[in-house]
Amino acid sequence: MPKRKKNRGPLAPNKYLSEDQVKRLKQYVKAQADLARDRYSRRTVINEAIVDVLLNSGLRAAELCQLEMRDLPHSHGKLVINVRAGKGCVQRSVEVSSALANRIRLFVKRYRKGAKPKSSLFVNERCGQLSYRSLYSKLRIIGRAAGIGHLHPHMLRHTYGTAFFNKSKNLLMLQDQLGHADPVTTAIYAKTNSSERRRTAENFDL
């Protein structure tokens, strides 16, 4: 029996967050983190940083969990996050904004002070490396509390990919950012903004 081909069609809307959902998510994690800062706690501050990095880098869940101090922009002086072991054990550099790089630097300064170069960026309650299961659980709880519903790491990756393409219109650049081996995988992001395509078609006349 022949293998069933994977669907490479457009991303369904529920595979990534709308602008309103992103806004609600950011507002929720910030409010929770602000409360934690007032109480000198750090658990929800870590949650805020996790959401921030996933939304603004497009990292896979495993890549985020494996991030170490030496991989971060302020550690090597470049506006990139180094992924040492991406999917297929492929290394890559993910370009990030100076704003995100600065937020990561401040997070490390305040909550991971004294961490060594090979120490994990995000840790669990026992200061060990954050696991995928723990990350998935965190986001699921956050999604429900923020009124978004089922939230998982790959949804934030899809949200980043959609927003990045809609801004850059450059699939090759996005392919590098996301670490896709096959450009066909990246091409799904070219079909997510149907309203923009409709506006362009309405005004197109050679």
* pLDDT tens-place string over residues 12-39: 656 899 999 999 999 999 999 999 988 8
Per the structure block, which two tokens stand in for 75?
């550690």
Q: What does the pLDDT read at residue 38?
A: 84
pLDDT band at 44 (very low <50, low <70, confident <90, very high): very high
- pLDDT per position as a tens digit, 132-155: 999 999 999 999 999 999 999 999
What does pTM read for this prediction? Answer: 0.87
Q: Which residue, 183, 139, 138, 129, is CA-closest to 159?
A: 139
DSSP letters for 146-160 = TT--S--HHHHHHHH
The domain limits of the chain are 14-198
Topology (CATH) of 14-198: hpI Integrase; Chain A (1.10.443)
